[in-house]
Each structure stands twice: as C-alpha cells, then as structure tokens.
Chains A and B, each alone.
Chain A
Amino acid sequence: MSFDLLRVDTIVALATAEAPAALAVVRVSGPRADNVRHAVFVPRRPPQRHFVATRGDLLDERGRPLDDCVCIAWPDRHSYTGEASFELSLHGSPVLARAAVRAVVARGCRLAEPGELTLRAVLTGRLDLTAAEAVDDVIRARSEAAARAAGRALRGGLALAVHEPRAAIVDALADIEARLDFPDEELGDLALAAHLPRLDAAHDALLRLLRTSAWGARLRDGARVVLYGPPNAGKSTLLNALAGEERALVHHEPGTTRDALEIELELGGARVTLVDVAGVRPLDEAGAVERLGIARADQERARADVVVALVPADAPDALAALHALGGDVLVLSKADLGPPSAIAPDVHLVSAREHVGLDALRLAIERRLAPPDAADEAVLMRERQVASVSGAAEALASARAAIDDHAAGELVASELRRAGRALDGLLGKDVSSDVLEAVFARFCIGK
C-alpha cells in the first residue's frame, strides 16, 4: 500500500458521478498539471489564461480529438487542492469521461485514491479542515459506490480469475525462495523451466482478463452503437425500427438529423445506447450548421463500441460506397425501394419500413457486443482493477525475460514478487507470507 503524502505524483480523478449526466468533470492536480494540460487540451483561442473558462479540444492519448470541452486552469497555490491543477468539463457520457481520464493518465498522471484530491487540499494547507469528517464522507461515499458497482458476485468472480495466476506466481517464488534462503538444504537444482508453462498460462490469463475491461465498461455504462452513413440513408428510420417507437424526426430532406440523437434499449440483455448522427457527406456540399453535425458524427463514430454503416440499397455503386464507408456491421438500407445492384455475404439487406432483415441485424450487433472469452468468469470494470492486472502482466513478462536471460534467482524473484504484489492490491492479500507458507509446506527445511 502506498500513499503519496509528499505529493510527488500528478493525480487525476473524475469529479462527477460515473453516470450519464449533462456534464462530466475531470480534475487533475499536481506538479505536472500544466504539462499534462498542454498535452491534452488545445484552446480555441490560445493562449489559455489561468482562472478563465476556455473552450477547446480535448485530445485522446494518441492526440486525436475526443471532445469539445471547457477547461479551467489554476496556478500553484491558487486551486482547490493548492497545487497547479485544471478541470475539464466534458459532455456527460461516462465513456467519454473515462476516455478523458485515460488520456490524462497516458500523459503521466496516476488515478487518485478515493478522497485524495481533498487530502491534497489539506496537505497544502489550502483547506482548513476543521473536521476530517468531510473527507471521511467523501471517502465513504466513493467506496460504497465502488462496492455497489463491483457487486459481490463480480468480485468473487474476479478473485477466482486471478487465483490461478497468483498461485502460479506463489509456487514459482516458493521454489526460488526456498533455495535462496536455505542454500544448505538438499532441494535439488532450481528448474525454473518447469514453471514456465504455468507462468506463461498465468500471463495469458491476465491478458485475457485485461481484454474484458472494454466489455466491463460497457456492462456498467452500456455500449454505444452508432448509425453512420450519408444523409437520407435511413438512419433515423432504422433507429426507430430498432427501438420500436417514433423517436427520431424522420424526413426525406437530407440532413434532417443535425445533432446526435440517442436512445437506450436492451439488446441481448445488455444496455445499449443507439446513436443516430447527422448524415455524412463531403463538407463542401454541406452548410455551416450541417458541418458541425458531421464533425459530431465523426466524433461519435470514434468513440463507438459498434459502428453500423448504412448506404441506401438503390444508391449508385451502393456496395462499393458501403465498403468505403467501413464499419463493424454493414447495412444496405431501404431494401424496399428495390434490389441492390450487388450484395456481399457480410452485408445486411434491411428494410426498416417493412421490418425486413431487422432480426438478423440485431443479432449481428449483439454478436459484436458479446463478451470476450474470459468474461464468463470475471470482468474488469474499474480502472484501478485494470491497473493492477496490467501491472501484474507487465511484471510477469519481465520475470519471463529475466528467466530467459538466466538472471540470478533473486532478480527473477524480484519481478515475480512485483507481479504478486500487483495482484495483492486487487485481492487484499499478502504475497510475502503466502510464499513462506508455501516454502514450509512443500520443503523439508531446517536443521
């Protein structure tokens, strides 16, 4: 366990609830806050001034625009935490907020512990906490929310999923440690090779678990399925047909949907947010307002879990246009207007108006949203869980490399211990005492 009382790290936390809302606020504080801000936020009209709400683009970890947002920056000693800090006010999607947190983390920040921002305010003397109770409330609220979100069954499943990887680590460590601490015992030569298959399997299991994290986020917040295509491709009609109600304004005039329209529905037992966006076409053909809509559509597409691309079946070269558009699920729409000139096996032919091909399309989307293999055992839902598991996987890979290099046993042990400790953070166990237990249980040691 560690707690950064010297305020060495720059930390980030989502300041608002992890639930859909009008706004989501991400707060970053610490010595590198200004550097991080310059890396993730591009003001519309630079330079950005302290204390002033500034509009601009939030960039993801690869520098691609993530959202149009408002940023306020504070200099050292003048913020809530008393440190250099900034806040980003985003559109209120939890998915977007988490992507923003990830972007900030990618620039060298660490996720704040519950209540840690308030703790910083106290440590800098910024907040005269006449009562520690306030922080206590914050901490308790956060951990109860965490407890609720994780859920008992899910935690049990996660513990089960990392049980074998951790046991593999403990067993390999016991073998190494017994020989390091008891060199005069007849324990035989250390055969780390015998542990390799199990350690490799452990590594694979952790990677598999990591791949559930995207699905874990979906499980919590619902998946975003974006209907994407040229104007008048029938996206809104399809949305209504899938949702089973008149929701989107449908019109024959191209470009009717200028802003994104969202609708929530159940698909295969999972919560899905179906997003209908403005039709996309070359910008020089679009008016000023429509262009904004198109930009928004592209953003939505970038953060979607599933992109359903649509082109009207009667459009010229419809199939080629559809493939050019690209997407996770390809649809030739408005099939009622006449058969397409060409069709391909990966393309769905749908008539929303006649309710033809809708079931197959639903199934195709569900398949895209299906959980990865490991998810029937456990799902990583929290960024902190992801951090623990990826830390363990990284340390295991490093241990593997040390073994391959024929490094001294103490170095291999050091990396395995790091892996074990990372998982300990997830489980609240102590790898050190477990290793000693294993040593004494397995080896006849001592004189």
Chain B
Amino acid sequence: MPQGCIGSRTAEVLVVGGGHAGCEAALACARLGKDTLLVTGAIDRIAAMSCNPAIGGVGKGHLVKELDALGGEMARVADDTGIHFRTLNESRGPAVRATRCQSDLERYRAAMASVVQHTPGVRVRQDDVVALLVEHERVAGVRTAGGEELRARRVILTTGTFLGGTLHRGPHTWPGGRAGESPAAGLSASLAAHGVTLGRLKTGTCPRLDVRSVDLARLPEQRPDTPAPRFSVESGPPPLAQVSCRLTRTTTATHEVIRHAVQRGSAPLFNGQIGGRGPRYCPSIEDKVVRFADKDSHLIFLEPHGLDSHELYPNGLSTSLPEAVQLAFLRTIPGLEAVEVTRWGYAVEYDYVLPTQLDASLELRALPGLFCAGQINGTTGYEEAAVQGLLAGINAARSLDGAAAVVLRRDQAYAGVLVDDLVLRGTDEPYRMFTSRAEHRLLLREDNVSARLGELSDAVGLASAARRDRMRAFEDAVRARLAALAATRVEPALANPVLERAGGAPLREASTMLQLARRPELEVACWWEIEGAKGDARVDQRVQVELRYQGYIERAHKDLARDRALDETPVPDAMWSAPPPGLSHEVKEKLARLRPRTLGQASRISGVTPAALGLLAVELRRRGAVAP
C-alpha cells in the first residue's frame, strides 16, 4: 500500500457521489482497510432520500437483507431510523414475503452521514468533479471544477441522477441533479471521450404536502406491524416511535384536471420536452391517467417525512405538471381539499452508462480501475443503488489487494440477479428489482439470507464479527432444531387434541415432531403446543418453510446443478479478443462487447446457443484453461 504518498489530494479509492451507493462504497472500502476519499457536491446532503421516505419492499427488502449479510450499512440505519415497519405479502408465500419501512427521512440522512464521517479511513470532501484523469489507459483520479487533481488507483462513480441532470416542471427546464442542487457537468463528456457509451433516462418525484393542511382524521389509517420486522440481524426493537400512514385516492375530478392539462400541452412527458425513458412501474400520475384511462381512481399513500417534520409524501402522485396544475389536482383528492404544497413535484432526466460496458465486478472494461454503481448504471431505487455501491466498494478494495472479485450467483442473491441482468442484458428503462426477475425465486428468501451469504461474508470479511456470529448462530439453531424435531417422539394422546383443533387427521400411532411439522395445517404455534414449550419463532418459521417447500426446493436445486457448473467455469478475457472459429458473426460481436467472465454468463447472452457454448468449452480446454 502506498501509505507514504497519501495526502489530502490522494487516496487509494475515490468515491464520487454521496448518495446511497456512494456511502456504501466508501464505507466498504474504508472498512476493508483502504484509504478512501468521498467527493460530493454537498456534504450536507450525504445519504439524502431524494424521493419517498421508505426502504425495502418486495425484492428490495431482500436486497437490503443481503446487503446487511455482506457488511453494508443501509439495513442498520433503516432499522434505527424507521418509524413504520411492515411485512408485505405475509400470506402469499415465504419467498415473496418482504420487509418495508417508512424512514424518518432527516434522521436517516443524519445517521448515515454520521457513520460515513466517523468511520476511520473515510475522508469527505465537497467539490464538483468535472473530468476523469486517465493515464496509461487506466483511471488515475478525477479533476474538480477548480482544476484540482484528486488522484487514486480506484475510482467509483455513484453520480445518481446528477450526471448531466436536467429537471422539468411544466414548461420550465433547468440543469440540476435534484431540486436545489446543481448537476455534474462535464463528467459525461469526459466519460464519452474515453469511449464510454451513455444513454438517457427519466424519473420523477411527488410534490410534498404540509401535513397541517391535510384532513388526516378523515382518511383510513395504515398501521405498522407489531412487532416490527427488522432488516439487520443485529437490530433490536425500533428505537423511534412508530406511526401510521394514511390512504386516500384520486377522483374523476383529479383525472379531469390532469387530462385537461395534458390536452393543453403543458405536460413535459407528453409534449416532447422529455425524451428519456421513464420506469413503467413507477409512472407519473399523468402517465397513469393517460395510459389507463378506464381506471377512474388510483390509491395514494400519505407517508410522513419524519417524526419532527410537517411534510407528507403523497406516494402515487409523481408528476412534472406545472405548479398550478399540481395544486389544482391535489385539491380534488379527499382529505387534500385545502392542501398546501411545500415542494413541487418534478421530473429529472440524466445520463447513465450503458451497464453492458461493465463486467460483473462493476468495473468498466474500457477504463480499468473505474467502477460504477447505482443510478449511473441504469437502476432506480435506494436499495438497488446501495447494494451496487457495496459490491463496487468490495470489488475495488479487493482488486487493490489482487483478490478475486465478488460475483454473486443468480441462485444466491437478488444482488446477483441485479448485477447479472445489468451487465449481460443491459436496460433501457430504470431497472428496479422484482422477485419475478429471479428464476430461482423460491431459493432467494429473506428468511434464508444467512444461509445464502454467510460463508461468503466470512470470506469477504467486511461485516462485523458480531454480525457474522449472529448469522452463523441462526443457521446453527435451524440445523439443531431440525435434528431435535426428528429426535422427538410424539404420542397420539399428546398430539391429537391439537391436530383435531387444526383440522388435521389424528395420529394412530406414535410419530416424530418432524413428521408433524411437515403437515400444512399445523402452524408453528401448534408445534409449541404439542411440545409444551415455546420455541424461537424466527428459527421455527424458517424450519417450517424448509419442510413445506422441500420438494420444490429439491427440484430447484436439481435444475441448478448444471447452471452452476457453467457459472463456475471461468473464461479468460483473452478468449474474447480471439474467439474460436465457428461462431456466428453476431455471437462473436456480442461476446467481444460483453466479455463474459464465465461460461454461465456467456450462456445468458441472447443468441448464444448450446452449440456456441460447446465451442467455447472446447476452446477453453484447448487453451489449457481450467475446465471441469
């Protein structure tokens, strides 16, 4: 390590951006022992939640738990600053069951920023980065607006919506990364100058409302779950007071106002002002009204910004309509008849790096040493950003040590699905995680995250020993419980009263608890009743899933065996410079561009047939590379 030359303008890793990706990246690098400099346009805005004050959700809660297992920070901070926790999909099956919370937005920001600033090895600096320094075809640092050169052997770009950002509201268009902050100018041109291809995306946010002008008492309440579900294995009960959200809905009058504005040509989304592609699953309210004209009402969640805040986030009302239209349609919504707006909704267009230019470690192939994470890679969502920041940080740090990159498998983590989708398939709309993106969904559950990632986490060594011990202890407890269930004999006299009440067939002869536990009609509470003692609910629920899903899980594992063999067969990069003869021109071109690292990655590129894959395997063998 070049300790000697580290000064204020030099670091081992430079992180550009202080959002959810940047924070995780900087923390990971520093905790893995790398001198890390985080450069942000506004230190006060580190870890700001630009959009809704919430973390988690279906697919996203899974990501946050995976991040926790690998040593990320988001889960802990969310647990500490959450004011409303829920488990979604409680009744739809354990694989899609997911944790979500409302965050106290300001407390979240402050808590995360505090961790970043107090973690040894992280230095924070406020500056505008305008260009990359490239030497010997590798990234060597960045140049600031003031002309200063900040040097580092690894640079992680986490520019969010700031890269060439343009904001839109009504007829107005102005440069910005988000409301009140200027964009990262110049960096796009610098990336392009070094051969990086950029695309343009669009997203938007809702107006914020003054809670004192809203008639909350009239509106139905959505209460948090008790006890509160947690993201991190380390967290205890939530320290903050837990509050409710409120529900309301748009009316035909709302839609009339919006439709009228669209017809007048004052909607930037429809009058040609915005060209970037927005997320289909996070449409603006004008989008919903136009595209689903037959629906005369849409559900709106009124989410508090925080315990000390007077602002509400009306989830479902993302818009870039003019201010007057925003106010007019808001006031047609029950409970909002006299609403006052604190901040206006707007849309933002920004540049992103086509993620197929990255390899699976999130490093840009064209510029070794340069990593990208978060919205710059075409994703949307705090969770998607954070987990990429974590992985980019881990991999940047490991590459300095000459260690192999951490690449998660698709059957191992949603984070693996995310990165694999991005680097192999790319995206032309903001990419959000859905559980339906995971072909091995039944294996990727919140409840088994420590089984999926515990060993890897030990190897990476980023998560604290305490966190890893907890995960190991949990898995040990699950194994012990399974063994105990198998070893416990149950007499019919003991079990039958419980079975009868649960509507199950009675026992005729003695059985084991394991046999009983497999019965679908017996909930965990029934096990305890038969056993005469209350067990650990988390452990038993996990055991129950394993037992009930055994058949499906076994089949999934069988389907996996071959995919996994492919994923474990590395392909040297040199292969793509001189691919084997016999491949079609189209496949050759794709492989040369995407440069998959394993045969498994190659197999997921569209157009790569089994025959083409066979050729690659043969060529691998011929070149003396390791083949199974």
Residue ranges of A at the interface with B (Cβ–Cβ < 8 Å): 1-8, 113-116, 119, 122-123, 125, 129-130, 132-133, 135-136, 139-140, 143, 173, 177, 179-186, 408-411, 413-414, 417, 421, 430, 432, 435-436, 439-440, 444-447
- Shortest CB-to-CB span from B558 to chain A, Å, is 10
| Interface locus among B104-112, B150-158, B278-286 | B278-286
Residues from chain A with Cβ under 8 Å of B561 in the complex: 6, 8
- Is B333's CB within 8 Å of the partner chain A? no
Taking a contact as CB atoms closer than 8 A, the residue among B58, B282, B283, B610 that contacts A3 in the complex is B610
Taking a contact as CB atoms closer than 8 A, the residue among A7, A116, A139, A410 that contacts B96 in the complex is A410
**Docked pose: A268 CA to B165 CA in angstroms:** 71
Residues from chain A with Cβ under 8 Å of B608 in the complex: 1
Q: When the two chains form their complex, are residues B301 and A139 in contact, meaning their CB atoms are under 8 A apart?
A: no
Taking a contact as CB atoms closer than 8 A, the residue among A5, A125, A140, A410 that contacts B582 in the complex is A140
Known: A2-B563, A2-B566. A135 touches B618 (CB 8 A): yes
- Is B614's CB within 8 Å of the partner chain A? yes
Q: When the two chains form their complex, are residues B93 and A446 in contact, meaning their CB atoms are under 8 A apart?
A: no
- Is B95's CB within 8 Å of the partner chain A? yes
- Shortest CB-to-CB span from B357 to chain A, Å, is 21
**Can you give 26 A-B contacts (C-beta < 8 A)?**
A1-B613, A2-B566, A3-B562, A3-B617, A5-B565, A5-B569, A6-B561, A8-B565, A113-B610, A119-B614, A122-B621, A129-B621, A132-B582, A135-B582, A139-B611, A139-B614, A177-B436, A180-B96, A183-B88, A408-B92, A410-B94, A411-B549, A413-B436, A417-B439, A444-B298, A447-B52
Residues from chain B with Cβ under 8 Å of A447 in the complex: 52, 282, 301, 315-316, 318
Considering the complex of A and B, which 7 residue pairs feature the smallest CB-CB distances, nearest first? A408-B93, A136-B582, A410-B93, A444-B292, A447-B316, A6-B565, A2-B562
**Docked pose: A409 CA to B627 CA in angstroms:** 39
Other 17 A-B pairs with CB < 8 A, given A8-B562, A132-B622? A5-B562, A5-B628, A136-B580, A136-B582, A139-B614, A139-B615, A181-B435, A182-B281, A185-B299, A410-B96, A432-B437, A436-B434, A436-B437, A444-B288, A444-B298, A447-B282, A447-B316
Residues from chain B with Cβ under 8 Å of A185 in the complex: 299
Q: When the two chains form their complex, are residues B436 and A436 in contact, meaning their CB atoms are under 8 A apart?
A: yes
> How many residues belonging to B are interface residues under a CB distance threshold of 8 Å?
62
Residue ranges of B at the interface with A (Cβ–Cβ < 8 Å): 52, 58-59, 88-89, 92-96, 279-283, 288, 291-292, 295, 298-299, 301, 315-316, 318, 434-437, 439, 441-442, 549, 552, 556, 561-563, 565-566, 569, 580-582, 599, 603-604, 606, 608-611, 613-615, 617-619, 621-622, 627-628
- Shortest CB-to-CB span from B448 to chain A, Å, is 14
**Docked pose: A8 CA to B562 CA in angstroms:** 8
Interface centre among A7, A116, A184, A436 (most CB of B within 10 A): A184
Residues from chain B with Cβ under 8 Å of A184 in the complex: 88, 299, 301
Taking a contact as CB atoms closer than 8 A, the residue among B281, B299, B606, B610 that contacts A186 in the complex is B299
- Shortest CB-to-CB span from A433 to chain B, Å, is 9
**Docked pose: A430 CA to B599 CA in angstroms:** 19
- A177, closest chain B residue (CB): B436
**Docked pose: A175 CA to B556 CA in angstroms:** 23
Residues from chain A with Cβ under 8 Å of B316 in the complex: 447
Residues from chain B with Cβ under 8 Å of A173 in the complex: 436
Residues from chain A with Cβ under 8 Å of B610 in the complex: 1-3, 113-114
